[in-house]
Amino acid sequence: MNHPTRAALLVVTFLFIVTACHAQTELPNSPAGNQAKAWLDVFNAGDADKYKEFMRNNFPSNVGNAGRAAEFRELSGGLELKKVEEATDTKLVMLVQQKLSDQFLRVTVEVEAAEPHQITRLSLNGIPRPPDFPVPHLSESELIAAVRKKLDEDVAAGRFAGAAVVAKNGKTIFAQAYGLADREKKTPNTLKTRFRLGSMNKMFTAVATMQLVQSGKLDLKAPFGNYLTDYPNKDVASKVTIEHLLTHTGGTGDIFGPEFDKRRLELKTLRDYVSLYGQRALEFEPGSRWQYSNYGFLLLGVIVEKVSGQSYYDYVRDHIFKPAGMTATASEPEEQTVPERSVGYMRFGPGDWRPNNDTLPYRGTSAGGGYSTVEDLLRFATALQSHKLLNAQYTEMMTTGKVDAGRDKYAYGFQESVNNGMRCFGHGGGAPGMNGELQICPASGYVIAVLANLDPPAASRIGDFITNRLPEK
- Give DSSP secondary structure letters for 372-420: E-HHHHHHHHHHHHTTSSS-HHHHHHHHS--EEETTEEE-SS-EEEEET
In angstroms, the Cα distances linking 173 to 165, 295, 426, 446 are 8, 37, 19, 10
Q: How far apart are CA 109 and CA 79, in angstroms?
A: 15
- CB within 8 A of 73, min separation 6: which ones? 43, 44, 46, 51
- CB within 8 A of 323, min separation 6: which ones? 383, 388, 389
E strands in 112-264: 119-127, 162-168, 171-178, 180-182, 187-188, 195-196
Phi, psi of 423 (to 5 degrees): -75, 130
Residue type at 245 in one-letter notation: L
Measured over the CA atoms of residue 453, residue 149, residue 10 and residue 129, the dihedral's sign is negative
Q: Choosing from 76, 101, 139, 199, which is the catalytic residue?
A: 199
Q: How far apart are CA 444 and CA 420, in angstroms?
A: 12
Q: How far apart are CA 243 and CA 220, in angstroms?
A: 5
Give the Cβ contact number of residue 168 at 10 Å: 17
Residue 61 annotated among the catalytic residues of the structure: no
Q: How far apart are CA 138 and CA 172, in angstroms?
A: 17
Residues present in the chain in total:
473
Contact predicate 440/385, CB 8 Å: yes
Q: Tell me which residue of 213, 243, 169, 13 sits closest to 105, measured CA to CA.
A: 13
- Chain centroid to Cα 127, Å, comes to 15
Give the Cβ contact number of residue 6 at 10 Å: 16
Catalytically annotated residues: 199
